[in-house]
Structures are given as structure tokens and as C-alpha cells.
A = this chain, B = another copy of it.
Amino acid sequence: MIELKSLIFPSLVTLVSLIVYFVLIINVGRARSKYNVPVPQTSGNPDFERVFRVQQNTLEQLILFLPNLWLFSLFISPIWGAGIGTIWVIGRIIYAWGYYQAAEKRILGFAINSLSTMVLIIGSLVGIIKIFATGV
């Protein structure tokens, strides 16, 4: 059965990743006034577009990251899941503040994110296959 206490670490990483995302959303609002881009417009000013793309890309990655974080935590290890998840969050912060400066500076953070996501995917797959192998 699933115990709540064992899930405390992936829960904390989930929460921190969402707080980072919340800050990125606020940054879009601030960039709207700074660069004078009224809603519902989302393009036209390249400086605004970078701030907007950071948030959009984080949204695109979160839907990949969060379920995989939890599958990994449930089927492999919540501690390891949270550890890899922490690396993901750090990568995302590097990505965001890099991309804010220049489009080329998004590469390092993006690589960290892609790598940690791939580890979570492969780990989850191994964990699920292992349960099938030992009998559902």
C-alpha cells in the first residue's frame, strides 16, 4: 500500500518546481508592462517573447516532468526520484535566467532538464517492467 510519509520528498520537489513556475508566470506579467505588450498579444517584441517562451517551455516540460517524477518515485525510489527531481529544478532555473539574457544561453539548463527527464523516464520504465516480470 502507498504510505504518505514515504512520498514527502517527491512532494517537496513537486512543490518547489511549481513555485519556480509560479515565479516564471509572474515574470511574464512584469515583462508585459515593461515591454508594453498588451494581452492577448504574445508576440511582436523579441525581449518579451523570450520571457514568454521560458514560461511556455516550462509548462511543456512540467507535464513531462511531474508524472515521471511520481512514477519513478513510486516504482523505483522516492529518495532517488526527489534527488533527480532536484537536479531538474536547478536545470530549469539555469534555463530560465539564461534564456532571459539571450536565446543561446538556454542550452545548458535545457540539457540538464532533458537528461534528468530521460533518467526519470527510463527508470520508471525499468521499475514498471520489473513489477510485470515478478508478477502483477
Hey, which bits of chain A sit against chain B, CB under 8 A? 1-5, 7-8, 11-12, 14-15, 18-19, 21-22, 25, 38-43, 46, 49-50, 52-53, 55, 59-60, 62-64, 66-68, 71, 74-75, 103, 106, 117, 121, 124-125, 128, 131-132, 136
Whether the Cβ atoms of A103 and B8 lie closer than 8 Å is no
CB distance from A85 to the nearest CB of B (A): 13
Whether the Cβ atoms of B131 and A75 lie closer than 8 Å is no
Q: For the complex, would chain A's binding face be called helix, strand, loop or mixed by DSSP majority?
A: helix
User: What residues of chain B lie closer than 8 Å to A50, measured between beta carbons?
Assistant: 40
Q: Select which of B1, B22, B128 is within 8 A of A3 by beta carbon.
A: B1
